[in-house]
Structure 1
């Protein structure tokens, strides 16, 4: 069975080969509770996303906008621990969960837990990788060393302000996919995306040997239609988290319905 970065890359490429749109949805674990999180994950699996970003709640989510910040506050009420998170992922994978799962959280969480310990727990749980938005490549060597040869994806972010040289370095250190942030600022659904996003995407793809996913602001079928010919995958976060905020325990079916709409635009 495929695992880690290889599992993610194959999932993206297989969907593209089939002519499908590789979506990467994001939800915050424990929002509004763990039972609902699991129900949402199984409903999303039926829409065949490329992989899923599962956010571990952190008290200072500097890259996230108001929608995800509020989700984090709701999730933190359950007093989650990283051990709980890995146990949850393991239970899912023991049940045969078919989609690669990526943990999205902040570096302080792993630093305090222990880098090598986090990698070991991740491997034992069947997690496929990590997105750590506040970890720049210049400071990533301890993390990369802890994960060396283990196969887990470390997905770094490139910004609209990143130079060509920096994008090359980010692509070299990333595994699974490179995450291109479509706009400067924080996460959140937008009506319009930047005018130069397609040009920038083409540049990033030309500098990367692994798949390039684009995120931040993607919330409408029009966005998917515009970006899908240029990106290898599309990350959708705040628009989904908003559904969870509004529907609570009734969110699972609504999230699946929303992703179906995005995939068929």
Structure 2
């Protein structure tokens, strides 16, 4: 079978001898136009893989920064259908950078699994991270996504022991997302020794690339993580950078998108020049 965009990107990173940068932003945050400008500019800024958040009213696994991003996006009128339109617009200019949609199952369920997978694939989505669907519910979305030729990325944590990890990895594809801390997004950080031990443990169970996220806030931290893992995932720090450029009414100040992309550029440069 031909390589998918995501498989090719990780193969290219391996050939370059470096870890990648995975960025997270929320579709429609702080408004559709600004969010599209940020999304369109991420590859040139240095993002190797893009995670695009599907706004949801109750993002229970996320910390305050991403919760507020979801609220801003929903208040700006963002929907799941409009999220797919953002991807479709992105694909007019970029056919190479993988896009993973990340979020919760409820909006997908309401949309209709079959219709959503069809529309997502046609829009140019490469895969999904659905944080509230454990392996026991793979028949609801994971298996249909894989059957449609789309990746399903699973999260593992410091508490995912050897007895559980086989089940977690059973239908995982694309890469494994290792949550390096216990808790919500945007908090804490694991030590390098702890991180390396966890990655080695995962690598003993799978040949898939391992991306590490949660708690990565600086270029130096991203570089250190990408030395140990196949990629570093940065989300809350990017969202915080965005939020700092909102006015008192929660609207984007001039230059917000450029400022966010410049920050992504510093992360990418650090990852590339370790």
Q: Same fold (TM over 0.5)?
A: yes
Q: Is the 8 A contact 1:45 1:98 kept in 2?
A: no
**211-220 or 240-249, which deviates more:** 240-249
Measured in 1, the distance between the counterparts of 2:268 and 2:187 equals 17
For 1:203 and 1:254, the matched residues in 2 are separated by 38
Deviations 1:95-128, CA, capped at 9 Å, x for gaps: 3353111111101111121111111111111111
**TM-score (normalised: structure 1):** 0.91
Q: Which ranges of 4 or more aligned residues in structure 1 deviate by more than 6 Å?
A: none
- Find 1:253's aligned residue among 244, 252, 258: 258
| Aligned counterpart in structure 1 of residue 145 of structure 2, from 138, 147, 156 | 147
List gaps (5 residues or longer) in structure 1: none
The number of equivalent residue pairs is 261
Contact in 2 for aligned 1:24/1:51 (Cα 8 Å): yes
Counterpart among 168, 190, 194 of residue 193 in structure 1: 190
Match of 1:15 among 2, 9, 13: 13
- 2:84 maps to what in 1? 86
Change (3 A) 1:165 1:97: same
- Residue 118 (structure 2) pairs with residue 129 (structure 1): no
Q: Measure the CA separation in 2 of the matches of 1:62 and 1:217.
A: 17
Separation (CA, whole Å) in 2 of partners of 1:263 and 1:48: 5
Distance in structure 1 (CA, Å) of the matches to 2:195 and 2:216:
12
* Mean Cα deviation higher: 96-105 or 127-136: 96-105
SS in 1 for 2:141: helix
Which of 175, 178, 185 is the matching residue for 2:176?
178
TM-score by length of 2: 0.89
Q: For residue 258 of structure 1, report the CA deviation from its aligned partner.
A: 1.9
Q: 1:225 maps to what in 2?
A: 223
Please list every run of 5 or more consecutive structure 2 residues that lacks an aligned counterpart in the other structure. 246-251
Matching of residues 36-185 of structure 1 within 5 Å: 36-185=34-183
CA contact (8 A) 2:54 2:102 kept: yes
2:249 is matched with which residue? none
SS of the aligned residue for 1:229 comes to helix
User: Residues of 1 paired with 2:48 and 2:92: CA distance?
Assistant: 20
* Match of residue 214 from structure 1: 212
How many angstroms does 1:227 deviate by?
A: 1.8
1:35 matched residue in structure 2: 33
In structure 1, the residue corresponding to 2:170 is in which secondary structure?
A: helix
